[in-house]
């Protein structure tokens, strides 16, 4: 036994996974036991091998997503610590991760703290989640300029839903949906719902539940 923390990396992006591999191989207190390109492979691997920590992305091009995999791992091996990572700025996943029992959450593009620090603190017994939403520019506005309800409407808009479908899903009226979309357009400077949806999706500002589960993007 080396005494090092045994780590599994799960990321479907070759470049990102390679970076994590290099990062952990050069860290004195960690041993990379496996780097996997799919979340479902992580569930199988962790069940059969000795693992202390899983560092796993949310979005996967194939198979189940990282949050679903984390839930399955925690159900079978609750002692294994998990850090969920993402290159999007989708903050709703933090709540989901907490509910699952995921120890820590790290934004690849937006966190000021390096991953190694999050790993150290997690293995020391901390649960490390961001203290504030990521700072993301969206047109003439930033994420902070949008209300939570506006973000909810925008999240459903990126999934191609009509105003009526968004209203039904969020239990509000179609007129309220229209008002929220108008407010978002006034804040951001985008002139129509297509521009709103395309740009929100392009930068990963929000990600619908359907997109997360169906792997429509690799983030």
Which tokens sit at 99? 């509910």
Predicted confidence at residue 39, as pLDDT, reads 97
Q: How far is CA 174 from the centre of its chain?
A: 29
218: in domain: no
216: in domain: no
What residues does 105 pair with on adjacent strands?
84
Domain count, the chain: 2
Predicted confidence at residue 70, as pLDDT, reads 98
Mean pLDDT of the chain: 92
Residues 6+ apart with CB under 8 A from 77: 46, 47, 51
Place of tokens 């392009």: 202
Predicted confidence at residue 119, as pLDDT, reads 97
Predicted confidence at residue 1, as pLDDT, reads 43
> Both 13 and 59 in a single domain?
yes
CATH number at 52 reads: 3.40.50.2300
> Both 69 and 38 in a single domain?
yes
Give CA–CA dist 104/41, Å, rounded.
21
Domain that holds residue 116: 5-123
Place of tokens 């901390």: 126
For the chain, which ranges sit under pLDDT 50? 1, 216-219
> Both 105 and 194 in a single domain?
no
Predicted confidence at residue 2, as pLDDT, reads 61
Which tokens sit at 26? 């050069």
Mark 28-45 as b/e (b = at least 16 C-beta within 10 Å).
eebebbbbbbbbbbbbeb
Give CA–CA dist 17/21, Å, rounded.
6
In this structure, the dihedral spanned by the alpha carbons of residues 212, 40, 114 and 122, taken in order and rounded to 10 degrees, is 110
The helix/strand/coil state of 57 is strand
Predicted confidence at residue 218, as pLDDT, reads 39
Predicted confidence at residue 214, as pLDDT, reads 67
CATH number at 185 reads: 1.10.10.10
Q: What backbone torsions phi and psi does residue 52 show, to the nearest 5 degrees?
A: -100, -35
| pTM, full prediction | 0.84
């Amino acid at each position: 036994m080396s005494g090092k923390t045994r780590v599994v990396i799960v990321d479907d992006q070759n470049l990102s996974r390679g970076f994590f591999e290099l990062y952990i191989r050069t860290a004195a207190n960690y041993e990379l036991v496996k780097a996997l390109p799919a979340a479902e492979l992580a569930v199988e691997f962790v069940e059969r091998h000795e693992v202390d920590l899983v560092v796993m992305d949310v979005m996967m091009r194939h198979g189940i997503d990282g949050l679903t995999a984390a839930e399955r791992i925690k159900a079978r091996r609750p002692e294994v610590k998990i850090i969920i990572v993402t290159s999007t700025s989708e903050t709703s996943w933090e709540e989901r991760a907490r509910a699952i029992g995921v120890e820590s959450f790290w934004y690849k593009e937006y966190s000021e703290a390096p991953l190694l620090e999050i790993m150290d603190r997690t293995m020391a017994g901390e649960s490390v989640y961001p203290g504030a939403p990521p700072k993301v520019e969206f047109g003439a506005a930033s994420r902070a300029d949008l209300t939570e309800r506006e973000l909810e409407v925008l999240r459903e808009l990126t999934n191609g839903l009509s105003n009526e479908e968004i209203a039904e899903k969020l239990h509000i009226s179609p007129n309220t949906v229209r008002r929220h979309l108008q407010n978002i357009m006034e804040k951001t400077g985008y002139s129509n719902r297509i521009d709103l949806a395309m740009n929100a999706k392009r930068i990963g500002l929000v990600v619908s539940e359907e997109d997360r589960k169906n792997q429509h993007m690799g983030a």
